[in-house]
Structure 1
Amino acid sequence: MPEITQAPEATPSPVFILDPQANRTRDEDVDLSHTVGKMPTWQTVQQSVGTRSGWLGDYDYGFLCMPTLPGFTVTRIPPFFGLKDRLPLVLAIIMGFQHALAMIAGVVTPAIIMSGTGDHGLNVPDKMRSQMVSTSLITSGLLSFVQITRFRIAKTPYFVGTGLLSVVGTSFIFLPVLQSSVANMYASGFCKSTVDAAGIRSYLPCPDAWGAFLGTCMVCSVLPIILSFLPPRVLKKVFPPIVTGVTVMLIGVHLVTSGMSQWGGGSGPCKSNPTTGPFVNCPSNSAPRAAPWGDAQWIGLGFLVFSVIMIVEFFGSPFMKNAQVVIGLIVGMVVSVALGYTNSASIDAAPTVTFLWLQTYRLSIYPPAIIPLLITYTLAMVESIGDITASCEVSKLSVEGREFESRLQGGILADGIAGVLAPLCMNSPMSCYAQNNGIISLTRCANTMAGYMCCIFLILMGVFSKFGALFLMVPDPVLGGMTTFLFASVVVSGIRILSFLPWTRRERFIVASALTLGMGTALVPGVLTHMFHYSGTNAFVLSLINTANIVLDTGFALGAIISCVLNALLPANPPMSSEPIIDRHGPVPSNKDIEDMQVEAQSIHESMLNEKTHH
């Protein structure tokens, strides 16, 4: 590897400070008015748009575009831009566009998967799917604006939003709950399906399932709203790293299986490799260049995307590395179009311009999904603590004290409110995104102006719905090559949390017990859902059975429950001698070593989602 050397940190040229108090980190500071968003003054506007320095500044723009080449030595680093430092407009636009590119794949992928085919998707037509993608982008931009701006609740000490460059997007962790719920809806007759003469089951569109899921999410979002007023240390004590690590890992395992299904050709009826009927080939016999599930051409398309992501990581510039997933998707899309794997039906069905509520769904409550969603919301809340902590770290703000705790409270409350507003916008719940912290760290720009530009780009991409429809034109294997990589990073995040545990017999037992059923149901879906047999018509009993089936078919819910219970019931490790014991496996850590590792594990837990986890 070429040696990378860094010169002493450059001192930025004097800049106009929008709010000189914005970067204060004194623990004794109880006046938090400086953390709330403020309207720019006329003087600020004049200096930004009326001068050359306001547009360009003296930033080294070549840094963002310089590729990583063998033997190349990095000798310079860009200046750091704090929360309220004045950012040149051109740089703000570039940084905002970069944040938007890093978010696009994560924002639109859940909508594409949720609206897809098979017993785990809604099977809705292209027009509805296009609207769902556009709605995700618009909602993400609007709710990110709330997080970044930060509002005080009347004259209380409570806030909504973090006041950081903290964006939100559709969370991946809600995907398993929806998929299990939809599968149960088709099995129970809530959603309709048909069986042809060859025994192949076809699933009819079920938009009411989407409305039921959204309505249930709104009800369950009351939990994070209430818990946002508790001290963050209480939440971290109830959900320690051993619980969140197992849960995040199991979410990733479930999602990887979904991504690999798409990589093989799709998650629809063709996945079962039928020998007769319209789904012998994927996605159907009538599709362009159709082929059986698992065919080499499907594997090759997905591997192309995966390979491009790897190449960009090795040789790409900082700008390209932050958008590597989107670049891989674009290359896969171009190749698919050139080779005739696509058709323009989704683009033709999408209007030129759209907005929220042009397609609505009948909101209702689906009781069997309540318990899994409560678990999911709780986990999302714990994730947000890690995300916001990481955002403060990369923004060079304190991660302790009154101001930090206030930002945590505001961020969690904003996520809880987003759990109400996003379903009202006909979109899945949203929460803080973590991957943008990597962009802040690399570009050294934590300025909220870049966040506002990101919001604008997301809203524009959603309003012009032809853009969102492009993602629906992508063949499933191309999307699978991208999403499997994203989902695998969720698994890595869970492993990273667990890797810093002391790993005594107690920890090994808890993790193994949680993975026994959690990973088993993730890898063999439906294995535990055939135990209950009831032929009556009692609505309460049927609801209990459906609830149990959804929990038993959601691996991360089982893992979270088992790890929480065992962590609470199993006695703590007995005190150990201060002298290390040597055996054939090497030295056993002392009691002090274990305490040090536990402190380090808690630190890692607080910043666990510096890498992609939603999502």
Structure 2
Amino acid sequence: MKLLRRRIAEHEVDRVPPFGQLAALGLQHVLAMYAGAVAVPLIVGNAMGLSQADIGYLIGADLLVSGVGTLIQCLGFWRFGVRLPLMQGCTFAAVTPMVLIGTTGGGLTAIYGAVIVSGLLMILLAPAWGRLLRFFPPLVTGTVITIIGVSLLPVAVNWAAGGVGAPSYGEPRNLALAAVVLLIVLLIQRFAPPMLSRISVLLAIVLGTLVAIPFGFTDFSGVGDAAVFGVSTPFHFGLPTFEVAAIVSMAVVTLVTMTETTGDILAVGELVDRPPTAAALADGLRADGLSTVLGGVFNTFPYTAYAQNVGLVGLTRVRSRYVVAFGGGILVVLGLLPVLGELVAAIPMPVLGGAGIAMFGTVAASGIRTLSGVSFADNGNLIVVAVSLGVGLVPVAAPTIYGHFPLWFRTIMESGISAGCLTAILLNILFNHGRRPSLRERAEALRP
């Protein structure tokens, strides 16, 4: 009887599904974030003119540390890890500064020195940052979650069109394949039993890939050329060097990353009905910092929680952190077995785009749901949401608009998530801190 009561009281986040479900659901999370995970080493490696072998090494190291970071974040140890279903991956906020560091004489060793310092800085700042949780009421969290979802939608659309830079970008057949995958997600969600609806994205990606094969969308040539086994060794490209300018630019990235991770932690906490405490938020940021330090040691880059997978949690309604932890284990295996990584990489971009539209739209809808509980009568909350959305979507609508600004400014403002989050925090302080609540707000606060 006591065991039964304990099981009933156990939160869904802490439940371990049967192995078959665990494996399928974990693989689904990997497929949802794989394209984004390998994009950063591809961009940085190509910008620095590295060989294909070196770029492949960066990708393997990235997948390995992504998996380890995910395990730390989901399972936790001591004061590291928020213990929520969050997938870790390289942050795009660091791409521009790293390319500049790497191509202006510093090279990879200067990048890795700055990455290690930025990770240590995040660990040190985490406790103080966690105490800022009172500045993230539902008004701010709902706005930030909405911005995260809307900011990611163009990524899904570009995938659906074939991937930015692809010769076939925008061809009708790409969009048709993406539409088929999206339709499969919708049909499974509507008509399939609950168990299958939870893996709707995985099934849609598998079926979409099978549909794509006879039409020439897939290319498995890289699978035969890839090494079966590979291990990323510490400081493969040389011992890190510590240059002041590089460290300063990466310190700015650290603040942006902490802002984005805070938004993702609050978003997934809302979705799984376990809002994080200040201490839990600090633990999640420490995990980011530790993953980033490991990234600098094992030849990869700064890490953050991935919003793509927050959308998948909302779409599938699977709240278990052990599912995402299993996905982290899969990433570790992919990092150690490059041949499997090439197999996953053969999934066509339009297939991922069709699934991404559903996932990222779910994130935006979750933010709107959070905002539905906020009072907009007799206060400035509407203008807080309006201006924050506007500022957050500026780099989405015009990606090169800040091209003439200093690097530190671009690092902050070219991320719609960090720009919108900072705007929401500041406007909430301006309009709501130190202001007496209206009679309507006080009445709503007293409602059971």
Distance 1:160 1:329 in 2: 33
Q: Normalising by structure 1, what TM-score? A: 0.59
Per the alignment, residue 576 of structure 1 pairs with 438
Matched ranges for 1:426-575 at <5 A? 426-431=300-305, 434=310, 456-504=329-377, 505-530=379-404, 545-570=406-431, 574-575=436-437
Per the alignment, residue 332 of structure 1 pairs with 208
Per the alignment, residue 371 of structure 1 pairs with 252
Distance 1:267 1:123 in 2: 20
Structure 1 residue 331: Cα displacement: 1.9
Structure 2 residue identity aligned to 1:264:
A
Point out where structure 1 has 5 or more consecutive residues left out of the alignment. 1-10, 24-78, 153-158, 193-205, 269-282, 285-290, 394-398, 533-544, 578-589, 601-615
326 and 527 in structure 1: CA distance in 2 versus 1, 3 angstrom threshold: same
366 and 312 in structure 1: CA distance in 2 versus 1, 3 angstrom threshold: farther
248 and 436 in structure 1: CA distance in 2 versus 1, 3 angstrom threshold: closer
Distance 2:152 2:318 in 1: 28
Structure 1 residue 168: Cα displacement: 4.4
Deviations 1:18-72 (A, max 9, x none): xx9xx6xxxxxxxxxxxxxxxxxxxxxxxxxxxxxxxxxxxxxxxxxxxxxxxxx
Matched ranges for 1:13-412 at <5 A? 82=10, 92-115=18-41, 131=57, 134-147=60-73, 150-152=76-78, 159-161=79-81, 166-171=84-89, 174-175=91-92, 177-178=93-94, 181=97, 185=99, 216-230=114-128, 232=130, 234-268=131-165, 283-284=166-167, 291=168, 293-357=169-233, 360=236, 365=246, 367-368=248-249, 370-381=251-262, 383-384=264-265, 387=268, 393=274, 410-412=283-285
Percent pairwise identity: 19
Per the alignment, residue 591 of structure 1 pairs with 441
419 and 327 in structure 1: CA distance in 2 versus 1, 3 angstrom threshold: same
Secondary structure of residue in 2 paired with 1:563: helix
Q: Which has the higher contact order (CA 8 A, sep 6+)?
A: 2
226 and 487 in structure 1: CA distance in 2 versus 1, 3 angstrom threshold: same
- Structure number, greater radius of gyration: 1
Structure 1 residue identity aligned to 2:145:
V
Distance 2:48 2:194 in 1: 38
Secondary structure of residue in 2 paired with 1:570: helix
Secondary structure of residue in 2 paired with 1:221: helix
313 and 94 in structure 1: CA distance in 2 versus 1, 3 angstrom threshold: same
Given that 1:262 and 1:477 are in contact with CA atoms closer than 8 Å, whether structure 2 keeps it comes out as yes
Between stretches 434-443 and 142-151, larger displacement belongs to 434-443
Structure 2 residue identity aligned to 1:236:
L
455 and 231 in structure 1: CA distance in 2 versus 1, 3 angstrom threshold: closer
Structure 1 residue 377: Cα displacement: 1.2
Given that 1:96 and 1:457 are in contact with CA atoms closer than 8 Å, whether structure 2 keeps it comes out as no
345 and 453 in structure 1: CA distance in 2 versus 1, 3 angstrom threshold: closer
Structure 1 residue 376: Cα displacement: 2.4
Indicate the RMSD between aligned Cα atoms, in angstroms: 4.5
Distance 2:409 2:50 in 1: 27
Structure 1 residue 112: Cα displacement: 3.4
Structure 1 residue 297: Cα displacement: 0.8
Given that 2:315 and 2:359 are in contact with CA atoms closer than 8 Å, whether structure 1 keeps it comes out as no
Between stretches 451-460 and 486-495, larger displacement belongs to 451-460
Structure 1 residue 121: Cα displacement: 7.9
Structure 1 residue 97: Cα displacement: 0.8
Structure 2 residue identity aligned to 1:344:
F
Point out where structure 2 has 5 or more consecutive residues left out of the alignment. none
Distance 1:168 1:483 in 2: 17
Q: Normalising by structure 2, what TM-score? A: 0.77
Structure 2 residue identity aligned to 1:256:
L
Secondary structure of residue in 1 paired with 2:87: strand
Distance 2:64 2:380 in 1: 46
Distance 1:417 1:309 in 2: 36
How many residues get paired? 437
Distance 2:318 2:24 in 1: 12
Given that 2:147 and 2:416 are in contact with CA atoms closer than 8 Å, whether structure 1 keeps it comes out as yes
Structure 1 residue 374: Cα displacement: 0.7
Structure 1 residue identity aligned to 2:402:
L
Structure 2 residue identity aligned to 1:247:
V
Structure 1 residue 387: Cα displacement: 4.2
Distance 2:260 2:357 in 1: 22
Distance 2:150 2:325 in 1: 34
Deviations 1:165-205 (A, max 9, x none): x4542258x33x245557xx5xx79659xxxxxxxxxxxxx
Structure 1 residue 116: Cα displacement: 5.3
Distance 1:547 1:119 in 2: 22
Structure that is richer in helix per residue: 2
Structure 2 residue identity aligned to 1:111:
A
Structure 2 residue identity aligned to 1:480:
G
Deviations 1:408-440 (A, max 9, x none): 654443343223224433254144865786799
Structure 1 residue 82: Cα displacement: 5.0
